[in-house]
Amino acid sequence: YSDNDFVAILELPEGEHEYKFHIDGRWEYDINEPSKDDGHNGRNNVVTVKKSDFEVMEALTSDSILSSSQSSNLNKQQSTDTDLARSPPGSYEQNWPPTNQKEFSQTDKPPFLPPHLLNIILNKDTAAHYEPALLPEPNHVMLKHLYALSIRDGVMVLSTTTRYRHKFVTTCFYKPTSK
């Protein structure tokens, strides 16, 4: 989403329609779109709505009417048979649909770690303008993941970062490792 983009959806009848934009107190038109003289020493953009533009909407409307009538017929059929009233429509079977075997092949290796999760904020040096107890602001993809730092001096460190409104809280767990 952007604060610079605005959208309006209008249902226009068939025909030619003129429009322009009001930007910072001035009327503007898009030079990249079709335009014509507005009769007042200015220009307006032009959009032409054809009969064929409505055919898509009519098709969608008829599809929704057909779909609702089919679902009401299905509901009537299911309500007449008490055994089927509790069961969703369709057949039940034990066969799996065919899949691409390369996609689901068994491997001995775990999947690769996404590169954005390699950026652990506990391993970063804090800048001089930061208070030493404060960490840099984490990226949104780093939230709610468990990070394990390398074991140093017989201590393992686990951390996770969560967000509460506009603040970030990083919780660290220190555990001595047995030698």
116-136 per-position pLDDT tens digit: 777 777 766 666 665 666 777
Judge if 39 and 70 occupy the same domain.
no
Name the range with the highest mean pLDDT among 16-25, 46-55, 69-78, 127-136: 16-25
pTM: 0.35
> At which of 85, 103, 135 does a domain end?
85
68 three-class SS: helix
CB 70 within 8 A of CB 62: no
Cα 18 versus chain centre, distance: 34
- Asked if residue 26 has pLDDT above 80, the reply is yes
Judge if 30 and 59 occupy the same domain.
no
Domain count for the chain: 3
CB 162 within 8 A of CB 169: yes
Domain with 38, as residue range(s), is: 15-49
Judge if 45 and 56 occupy the same domain.
no
Judge if 121 and 162 occupy the same domain.
yes
- Asked if residue 8 has pLDDT above 70, the reply is yes
Judge if 56 and 81 occupy the same domain.
yes
